[in-house]
A = this chain, B = another copy of it.
Amino acid sequence: MSLRSEIFEQPEVLARLMDVQMKDVERTARSLKKRKIDFIFLAARGTSDNAGLYAKYLWGAYNQLPIALAAPSLFSVYKKPPCLTNALVVGISQSGKSPDILSVIDEANRQGTPTLAITNDPRSHLAKTSEFMINTSAGPEKAVAATKTYTTQLLAVAMLSIALKGDKKRLSELQGLPEMVENALKLDPAVEQAAERHRNMEKCVILGRGYNYCTAYEWSLKLKELVYIFAQPYSSADFQHGPVAVISQGFFVLAVVPAGEIFKNMMGLLSDLVENRQVKLLAISNRQEALSLAQTSFPLPNDMSEWLSPLVSIVPAQLFCYHLTRSKGFDTEKPRGLSKITLTR
C-alpha cells in the first residue's frame, strides 16, 4: 500500500525538505543572482512537467522570469537545440534518469549555460551533470503514481522563488504548509464517500487556472494513470476557446477554484456550466460560493494564499484518485502498462 502511505507522508516530507534544504537553496539563489538570466528554459515530463507548470506561474508572476517549457525532442530526436544564451536551464525529474531531460542538460553544458536539477536522487546523472541541484529529499517513492515527489517538486520551486526574492513573509507562510496538508488529509473519509459516488465516471474535464493550472494537469494525469479515466485538463480560458463544445448535460466537471485572482473568472464559467449546461460539478475550494455551487466539494484551509494553494489543493485530488481506483477494483500499486521510470527519447 505504498500509494496511500506516500500520500499521507506528505506533511512530514514537506517539513523535512524545508528543514534540510532551505540553506542550500538560499546559497543557490545567491549564486544565480550573480548570473545574467533573461529567461528560464525548463525540461520535464509527466508529473514533473506539471511541477514545471507551477514554476511557469510562480517564477513568472513573482520573480518576473519568463519560462520556456522545452520541447525535449528538439534535443533528443531532431538534435537541433535552440541557442540558450542568457537562460537558466532547469531539469525536473524524480529519478534523474529520463534520457530526453538529460539531453537538454547536456546541451546546456555544451553551451556553457547554467543548469539546475530538481530531483529526488542526488546521485543521479541529472544531479551530477547539473551545476546546481535541489534534492527534493522525499525518500524512496515506491508507488508508480507520483505523489510526494510531486508536492516536494512544487515546494522546491516555491523555496527557490522565495530565496531569489529574500521574502521573509512568504517564507513564514511556507512554514504553515505541512499543517495545511495535514488538514487536507483529514478530508479522507469524505473523499472516500465522494469517490464511491463517482464510480461510474468514465470521462471528465478538469478546470484550473493560473497557479492551479498545474493541479488540473496533475489530477488529470493521476486519473488516467490509476483509474484509466479519460480526463482532460484545461485552463478555464482555453476551455472557452473551443473545448467547451464537448460539454453536455450530466458531464463530469472537476474544478480547482481557490480564493484568489482567478476566482471570479472561474466562478463565471462554473456557474454557466452548472446552470445552463447541467454538468455534475466537483469543486476543490476554500470559498463557500464555490463549495455551494458544486454537487461534491472538498473544502481547503481558509487562510491559504493562492500562490501556495497548489501544494494543498492536489492532496484531496490524490485521495480521490486513490479511493476511486479501489472503488473500481483496480490495483493502486500496479497501474496497467506503466513503469516507474519511462525512458523516452
* Binary interface encoding of chain A residues 216-252 relative to chain B, with 1 for a CB under 8 A from any of its CBs, else 0: 0000010011101110100101101111111110000
Q: Interface 1/0s, chain A 73-99, versus B by CB < 8 A?
A: 110011011111111000000000000
Q: Which residues of B contact A64 (CB under 8 A)?
A: 80-83
A335 to B246, CA, bound (A): 10
Q: Are A240 and B66 touching (Cβ within 8 A)?
A: no
What are 24 residue pairs bridging A and B, where the CB atoms are less than 8 Å apart in the complex?
A38-B86, A39-B39, A45-B238, A49-B241, A57-B73, A60-B74, A64-B82, A65-B82, A65-B83, A66-B82, A66-B87, A68-B68, A73-B210, A73-B235, A77-B261, A86-B86, A224-B242, A224-B243, A226-B245, A228-B246, A230-B246, A237-B345, A241-B342, A245-B337
A336 contacts B80, C-beta separation under 8 Å: no
The interface size of chain A toward B, counting residues with CB under 8 Å, comes to: 68
A residues sitting closer than 8 Å to B (CB atoms) are 38-39, 41, 45-47, 49, 56-57, 60-62, 64-69, 71-74, 77-78, 80-87, 100, 203, 209-210, 213, 221, 224-226, 228-230, 232, 235, 237-238, 240-248, 261-262, 265, 277, 335-338, 342, 344-345
In the assembled complex, which residues on chain B have CB atoms less than 8 Å from the CB atom of A232?
A: 230, 232
Q: Residues of B contacting A243 with CB < 8 Å?
A: 221, 224-225
Contact A83 B71 (CB under 8 A): no
Q: Which of A46, A80, A246 has the most CB of B within 10 A?
A: A246
State the Cβ distance, A309 to closest chain B Cβ, in Å. Answer: 13
